[in-house]
Amino acid sequence: MNITVEQERSIVLEILDRMGVQKEDAEIVADVTVDADLKGFSSHGIGRFPQYVKGLNLGFITKDQDMEIEKETVSTALINGNHKFGHVVTYRAMELAIEKAHETGVGLVGVHNSNHFGATGYYSDMALMQGMIGIVIANTEPAVAPLGGTKPIIGTNPLAIGIPSNKNYISMDMATSASARGKLLEAARKGEKIPENVALDADGNPTTDPNEALKGSILPFGAHKGYALAFMIEILSGPLVKAAFGTKVTGTAHCDATCTKGDLVMAIDPTKFCDLGEFEENVDDFVEEVKAAGNVLIPGDIEARNVEKHKEEGFKLDDKLFNQLKEISSELSFDLEAFLGEE
């Protein structure tokens, strides 16, 4: 089944509207979801949406709560998300970080009591669209075993950095595990294998079966360096922001528990260091130099190409995902096929 970008957006909005989610919040969730699929992060787009519907139904994602700023200075804040949609909480956190960065040069906002927020790069993009540098990290339910161990204790702990530029989309958006867990969930749903050297089964043996990998652990990217980075992110988006850490993190991949993860988002205003035009020109000169080195890509190239492709071609929904969405729709008293026909 193929759907257009607009149809995907409408499906998300219709379902959330029928579930009583406030329009403003639903718009953010739809935007983040569509953006992930546009960029080719299908593991974090509409494929992840049934998880959020379940979370809403079980009450682990709240609809009517407001977020609270628990602590604040001119350049920092700590937000209690009161378990609203993670997309909404992190969106508001980055808005606040950008506002603070305009004033002081840097805005650093921590988040706890939130939920899974989809693809990390959406929020760092918010900063680069304002001529700022955006950095976003988060922890997740354990998936990665510390080097030398077999028990998952560390999350897939994503890191996204966006850099403003005149000519290029520059964004690194990645899990610190060899693969995002979402890619394993997606492969399991589609009945596909995962690449080698990505995950271990529960006995610590290498596996390409996503179901065995989900029972076991995902390797860190880049051996000890990925492990070290994920370890640090666990602390910066755990204890620092009053969120859980290690095996106490729940509710990011399994929506049948309260989500206890945390986020740390940062916006940096380059004009507090140098002229923005000059900064962007130097960044673009650097990109040019890198690209002159051969057939090379820069972080963000693949996503920029995917956006163009998907705007034209739309998205392919696999049968299992389409059926999940059909089931959700029929529980909300609408027929998905008829709805798509009307769109």
Ligand X SMILES: NC(=O)c1ccc[n+]([C@@H]2O[C@H](COP(=O)([O-])OP(=O)(O)OC[C@H]3O[C@@H](n4cnc5c(N)ncnc54)[C@H](O)[C@@H]3O)[C@@H](O)[C@H]2O)c1
- The binding site for ligand X (CB under 6 A) comprises 41, 43-44, 116-121, 138, 140, 156, 158, 160, 171-175, 179-180, 182-183, 252, 297-300, 302-303
**Least separation in angstroms between CB 207 and ligand X:** 17
H runs (alpha helix) in the chain: 5-18, 23-39, 49-58, 86-104, 121-128, 181-190, 210-215, 223-236, 276-291, 301-313, 319-331, 336-342
**Which one, 3 or 160, has the nearer CB to ligand X?**
160
Question: At CA 147, angle to CA 212 and CA 220, rounded to 5?
Answer: 60
**Which one, 106 or 137, has the nearer CB to ligand X?**
137
**Which one, 178 or 336, has the nearer CB to ligand X?**
178
Judge whether 263 and 241 are in contact, CB under 8 Å.
yes
**Least separation in angstroms between CB 156 and ligand X:** 4
**Least separation in angstroms between CB 214 and ligand X:** 14
**Least separation in angstroms between CB 259 and ligand X:** 10
Write the CB contacts of 282 (distance below 8 Å, at least 6 apart in sequence). Answer: none
CA dihedral of residues 211, 216, 220, 224 (deg, nearest 10) = -160
**Least separation in angstroms between CB 161 and ligand X:** 9
**Which one, 156 or 329, has the nearer CB to ligand X?**
156
Question: At CA 326, angle to CA 322 and CA 329, rounded to 5?
Answer: 140
Calpha distance 79→107 (Å, rounded): 13
**Which one, 128 or 336, has the nearer CB to ligand X?**
128
Closest alpha carbon to 117 in 321, 214, 262, 256:
262
**Which one, 84 or 183, has the nearer CB to ligand X?**
183
**Least separation in angstroms between CB 72 and ligand X:** 25
Closest alpha carbon to 60 in 247, 262, 257:
257
